[in-house]
Amino acid sequence: MRHLMSPLDFSVDELEKLFDLANDIEKNREKYSHACNGKKLATCFYEPSTRTRLSFESAMLSLGGSVLGFSDANSSSAAKGESVSDTIRMISCYADICAMRHPKEGAPMVASTHSRIPVINAGDGGHQHPTQTLTDLLTIRSLKGRLNNFTIGLCGDLKFGRTVHSLINALSRYDNITFIFVSPEELRIPEYITDNLKEQNIPYKEVISLEEVMPELDLLYMTRVQRERFFNEEDYVRLKDFYILNKEKMSLAKPDMLVLHPLPRVNEISVEVDDDERAVYFKQVQYGVYVRMALILTLLEIDVNSL
């Protein structure tokens, strides 16, 4: 039985297969619409989320399966003091697969070691968010036709943004990727990540000005300042509007640069950018459903060739 804790749990070849399956689902929705008949997905969300939880639910419903779960730690037995390992033992009796989001780093990993069903990490604290990364990779691959030879700018809260940490991890395995980290001093990318890049001889630079690097980028990954992970509100207020991507800044970019964002957006992308063809963050949401459908099929070991 397999779980998904980090995007590195799948080899590059396995990811290719997963993305091919996601692209086939995109083209042939009907073919997959009963693939998970009788199967149940549990969504155990100990931290607020609409997008990711609904994306999982939509994915399972589109496969003909059903969903159950909770969307708030206060409405689960965690409020009574139940441990994650006990909860997953119980969920293993109710469902065939589980997507878990938790504010504590490593909680889904603990759950997976006590589980009889596949567990998917749907975001653990400031650590990893592998299914968002699968979404990001599928979006890039589908729209650009490749996952190598890019200069990618990651901008905003690089300290707390788990989607950023997961994406760097995953992209590091492809050839000729250059990372440009754009953040205020206080929200710089953690050192363990840059140490890792150094060790692998992967080129990166850290800058404060987005305008300065805009013309170099093939991809721009914007992120929200992660308010819920700040220790004090004052710092959040000071940093929240540090970057605002607008039409003027977009005019500095390559004509085929893509703008991605895991959403939710707060102020970091002005709505005037939404109509720009290079803004693909809403397309990304749709790819997120396809890739989660492909992931559920893969972890449940459904034979897609017999559909």
User: Interface residues with ligand NCD (CB under 6 A)?
Assistant: 51-52, 123, 129, 132, 162-163, 224, 262-264
CB of 63 to ligand NCD, least distance (A): 20
Active site residue 80: yes
Specify whether 52 is catalytic: yes
User: Judged by CB, which is closer to ligand NCD: 35, or 60?
Assistant: 60
CB of 149 to ligand NCD, least distance (A): 26
Q: Which two tokens stand for residue 141?
A: 């691959």
Q: Which is nearer to ligand NCD, 202 or 258 (CB)?
A: 258
The answer, yes or no, to whether the previous bond of 190 is cis (omega within 30 of 0) is no
Catalytic site includes residue 224:
no
Nearer to ligand NCD, 10 or 281 (CB): 281
Nearest approach, Cβ of 105 to ligand NCD (angstroms)? 12
Q: Which two tokens stand for residue 21?
A: 């399956």
| Cβ–Cβ < 8 Å for 151, 216 | yes
Give yes or no for a contact between 195 and 167, defined as CB atoms under 8 angstroms apart. no
Catalytic residue among 39, 40, 53, 101: 101
Q: Which of 51, 116, 146, 205 is catalytic?
A: 51
**Least distance from ligand NCD to the Cβ atom of residue 163, Å:** 5
Nearer residue to ligand NCD within complex by CB, 92 or 267: 267
> Closest approach of Cβ 203 to ligand NCD, in Å?
26
Nearer to ligand NCD, 39 or 162 (CB): 162
CA-nearest of 129, 121, 198, 204 to 164 is 129
Cα Dmax for the chain:
57
- State the residue for tokens 């730690």: 73
- 101 is known as an active-site residue: yes
Can 89 be counted among the known catalytic residues?
no
40, 102, 129, 224: which is the annotated catalytic residue? 129
Q: Which residue lies nearer to ligand NCD by CB, 40 or 129?
A: 129
Least Å distance, CB 264 to ligand NCD, is 6
How would DSSP label each residue in the chain? Answer: ---BSSGGGS-HHHHHHHHHHHHHHHH-GGGGTTTTTT-EEEEEESS--SHHHHHHHHHHHHTT-EEEEESSGGGSGGGGT--HHHHHHHHHHH-SEEEEEESSTTHHHHHHHT-SS-EEEEEETTTB-HHHHHHHHHHHHHHHS-SSSEEEEEES-TTT-HHHHHHHHHHTTSTTEEEEEE--GGGPPPHHHHHHHHHTT--EEEES-HHHHGGG-SEEEE----GGG-S-HHHHHHHTTS--B-HHHHTTS-TT-EEE--S--SSSB-GGGTTSTTB-HHHHHHHHHHHHHHHHHHHTT--GGG-
> Least distance to ligand NCD from the beta carbon of 117, Å?
22
Nearer of residues 132 and 142 to ligand NCD, judged by Cβ: 132
> Which of the residues are catalytic?
51-52, 80, 101, 129
